[in-house]
Structures are given as C-alpha cells and as structure tokens.
C-alpha cells in the first residue's frame, strides 16, 4: 500500500490530485475546529471535558464520530457528513419503493445525476432539522445531559442568535458536500467517503491517548495489539467473497461468433457494508433522545439507566439483534436475485449445473442467505468491541478499534488504494504501448 502512494507521488498528474485532496482535507479540518457564532467556547470545552471523563456524552456518539468530534464542540462543521449519509440511505431505500426513482436509476448517468440532486436537497432539509435540534439542546443545557449546567450560548434567549447558529451549521454541511464533489471530480477516490474517513481518523489519536491516561501503558499496549488483530480480521472479511461461476453460450451474429466466455458473480461476505451499523445505532438513539425532553417521567429514568451509556446487557443484546436484522434487510433490497437471473437469461448466461430462470433465482437467493449470516455476525461482533471495551477498561464509546470507526477506516482505505493502483497501471500500460 505504501508503495502505491510513493509511486503516485512520482507521477506528476497523480501527485497534483493527491495534493489537492490534502488541501481540501486541511480546509475541512479547519472548519471542524472553528466555533459557530454565538457559542461560548470556554463553557463548551469545560462541559465536553467533564462529559468525556464521566462517559456522559454517549447520546450523540455516532454523530460526533462522523463529525470528527466537531458536534459536541458546536463548530461550523458540527453536523459533519451525517445529513448526507442519512439522505443517501433514504434515497437508496426509496428507490426500491418509488417507481419514478427506480426508473431514474435505470436511465444511467442522467438519471443518477437527478438522484444526486434529490440527495442534495434532502441533505439540506435534514441538516436544518438536525441543526435545529442540536442548537435547541445546547440552548436548553441538555446537550451534555446532567454532567454540565453551564450556558453553552452567549445569549440563550435570543431567537436571532439561535437562527444564525443553525444557519451557519446548515451552510457548513453544504460546504462539506461541495468539498466531497471537488475531491470526486479533481482528486482520487470518492469524495464523500474520504470526508467520512477524515472525520473518523481525526478522533483516533485522542481516543488512544485517553485510554493511555485512564488505564496506563500496559493496557495501551494490549489495546494496540488487539487493534492490529482486529484490523487484519476486518481486511480479511472485507476482501472475502463467494464467486458464483457464470458461462455465456456462443451465438452467431451475421458471420461472426460471439460469446462463449466465462465469468463469475462476486458475492461479498459483508454485502451490506457499514449501513446496518448506522441503522441500528440510529434506532438505539431514539429512546435516549426522547428521554432528554421528558427527564421527570418514570420511563425516562429506565431508558437512561439501560440505553444511554451503552454498558447494559439489554442494550448490547438489542444492538446486536438490530444489526443482524438490518443486514438481512439491506441485502434483500440491494441485491435482487430475480433481476440478476433475468439479465443472465437475456444475454445467454447460465450457472453450470443450474437451469436458467426460476432455478437460478432460487439458487442465488439460497447462496445469498447463507453467506449473509457470517457477514451479519461479523458486523455485530465488530460493533460490540467498543461496548465491551467500555465495560472492561472503562474506555469511552469512541473506542478506536471497533464499530463504525474501524469499518470506515479499512473500507475507505482499501478502496482508495485500489483506485490509485488502477490509475498507476493505466499510466504504465500507456508508457509500455508507446
């Protein structure tokens, strides 16, 4: 992997693209540390420190990770990339339900451009909702729960300041979308994925140093060793796939013979990616979020003791079950065995030993259901690592080696390196042919 980056910097075109990506990342991180207007920076830092030490900031852990720690510090880019992720997931799910969106998806590049435009509009709408909710919690003093009672805004009673702060955060989300599209067009890799990667990696050093301060060097070394093993296991599973062989019959078109080739359908073990973890985490935050608005109710105390910190067995069991459910759910809507079978039959393809049509559809469904089980268990186990670490070594829920953090780092890293290597191979082949 390091060799690919070294060779890329030796190539002038790729070097310009990589430097452009680094420049956008610097601007991105600068906006993630710039406070939003009207925010009392000293009080926010004091509340954030006390909440982190007491592990009381678990309600917005996932959003805070995707914002690189900017959410709980109320910066310009406090909402991070989370509204765009949510909007993309919603549009992807609606594509299966709404015929108009499904037709746009099949139109190719023009239809995809239209779906991208809808995603942008939905992102801004979600950013307004999330920004209003976050600033309202900061205004009422409930953003950090009961761990801090300091005013987070200079003038909490001012409606104008409230609207300016929300508008600034929404504008920050728009700038993040623009940064991601710039990286996709002029840089290397998927811009939004690199934005997510940047924000997640930004929290990594702080989380590791917190473990060293709380548990000492011995536990720190053990965490490093376990983390490397987890990274190796994640890379192995992310690369694993079941290849279903497909053969295409020969056919005559005029005087020429076409077809007769052999290929395969790659079914990844982790076909759903990180989406089930995001779905499950979002659902688990709903009862905790509702309890913040009615803390005097009896059910609110029960929710706070079982679902806020994340160290209760009921929380872990529910979280694990939701991940397995959403893995099967997401795979079922993104991979359609009937559509794949019809396309194979249309172009004269068949699976050796399996008849075309309905038998092929049933065979693909059977293989997919069998291979999804280890993928779902894998996602559940990886996501449980931060919760287990929270119990064993009293680490906060931003534990670096596990959950969404390690899945994003490995997934985006592998994809970016593959794109760099493919561009290097293209340039080498051009030089060879000349």
How high is the mean pLDDT in each 10-residue block of the chain (434 residues)? 68 85 90 85 77 54 66 82 84 82 81 87 90 83 68 82 91 91 86 83 77 78 82 86 82 62 84 82 73 67 67 81 89 85 82 85 89 90 75 58 75 82 68 39
Smallest Cα–Cα separation from 78: which of 119, 46, 42, 34?
Answer: 34
Is residue 91 one of the residues assigned to a domain? yes
> What angle separates helix 12-33 from helix 191-202, to the nearest 10 degrees?
50
Do 182 and 125 lie in one domain? The reply is yes
Do 211 and 70 lie in one domain? The reply is no
- What pLDDT does residue 122 have? 92
Domain that holds residue 105: 1-202
Is residue 410 one of the residues assigned to a domain? no
Do 164 and 142 lie in one domain? The reply is yes
- What pLDDT does residue 18 have? 87
Do 174 and 264 lie in one domain? The reply is no
Do 77 and 98 lie in one domain? The reply is yes
Do 99 and 248 lie in one domain? The reply is no
Do 140 and 2 lie in one domain? The reply is yes
Is residue 289 one of the residues assigned to a domain? yes
List b or e across 107-145, with b for residues whose CB sees 16 or more CB atoms inside 10 angstroms.
eeeeeeeebeeebeebbbebbbebbbebbebbbebbbbb
Do 234 and 189 lie in one domain? The reply is no
- The domain that contains 48 carries what CATH number? 1.10.3370.10
Do 139 and 176 lie in one domain? The reply is yes
Is residue 431 one of the residues assigned to a domain? no
Do 99 and 158 lie in one domain? The reply is yes
Is residue 358 one of the residues assigned to a domain? yes
- What pLDDT does residue 432 have? 38
Q: Domain total for the chain?
A: 2
Is residue 409 one of the residues assigned to a domain? no
């Amino acid at each position: 992997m390091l060799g690919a980056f070294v060779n890329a910097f030796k190539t002038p075109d790729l070097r310009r693209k990589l430097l452009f990506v680094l420049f956008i990342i610097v601007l991105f991180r600068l906006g993630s540390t710039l406070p939003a207007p009207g925010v009392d920076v000293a009080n926010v830092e004091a509340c954030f420190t006390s909440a982190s030490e007491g592990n009381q900031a678990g309600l917005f852990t996932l959003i805070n990770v995707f914002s690189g720690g900017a959410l709980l510090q109320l910066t310009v880019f406090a909402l991070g990339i989370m509204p765009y992720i949510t909007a993309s997931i919603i549009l992807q799910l609606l594509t299966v339900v709404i015929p108009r969106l499904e037709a746009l998806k099949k139109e190719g590049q023009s239809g995809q451009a239209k779906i991208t435009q809808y995603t942008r509009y939905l992102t801004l709408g979600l950013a307004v909702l999330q920004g209003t909710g976050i600033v309202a919690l900061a205004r009422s003093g409930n953003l950090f729960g009961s761990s801090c009672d300091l005013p987070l805004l200079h003038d909490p009673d001012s409606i104008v300041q409230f609207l300016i702060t929300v508008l600034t955060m929404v504008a920050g989300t728009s700038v993040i979308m623009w940064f991601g599209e710039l990286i996709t067009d002029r840089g290397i890799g998927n811009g939004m994925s690199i934005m997510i990667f940047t924000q997640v990696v930004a929290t990594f050093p702080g989380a590791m140093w917190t473990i060293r301060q709380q548990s000492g060097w011995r536990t720190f070394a053990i965490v490093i060793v376990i983390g490397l093993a987890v990274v190796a296991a994640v890379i192995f599973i992310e690369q694993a796939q079941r290849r279903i062989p497909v053969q295409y019959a020969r056919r005559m078109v005029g005087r020429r013979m076409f077809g007769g080739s052999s290929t395969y359908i790659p079914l990844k073990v982790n076909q759903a990616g990180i989406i089930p973890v995001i779905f499950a985490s979002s659902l688990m935050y709903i009862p905790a979020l509702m309890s913040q608005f009615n803390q005097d109710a009896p059910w609110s105390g029960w929710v706070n003791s079982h679902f806020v910190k994340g160290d209760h067995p009921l929380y872990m069991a529910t979280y694990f079950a939701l991940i397995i459910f959403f893995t099967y759910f997401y795979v079922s809507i993104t991979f359609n065995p009937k559509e794949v079978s019809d396309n194979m039959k249309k172009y004269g393809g068949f699976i050796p030993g399996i008849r075309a049509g309905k038998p092929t559809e049933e065979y693909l469904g059977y293989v997919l259901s069998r291979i999804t089980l280890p993928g779902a268990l894998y996602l559940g186990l990886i996501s449980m690592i931060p919760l287990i670490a929270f119990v064993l070594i009293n680490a906060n829920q931003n534990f670096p080696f596990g959950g969404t953090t390690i899945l994003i780092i490995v997934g985006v890293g592998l994809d970016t390196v593959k794109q760099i290597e493919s561009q290097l191979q293209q340039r080498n082949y051009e030089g060879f042919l000349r």
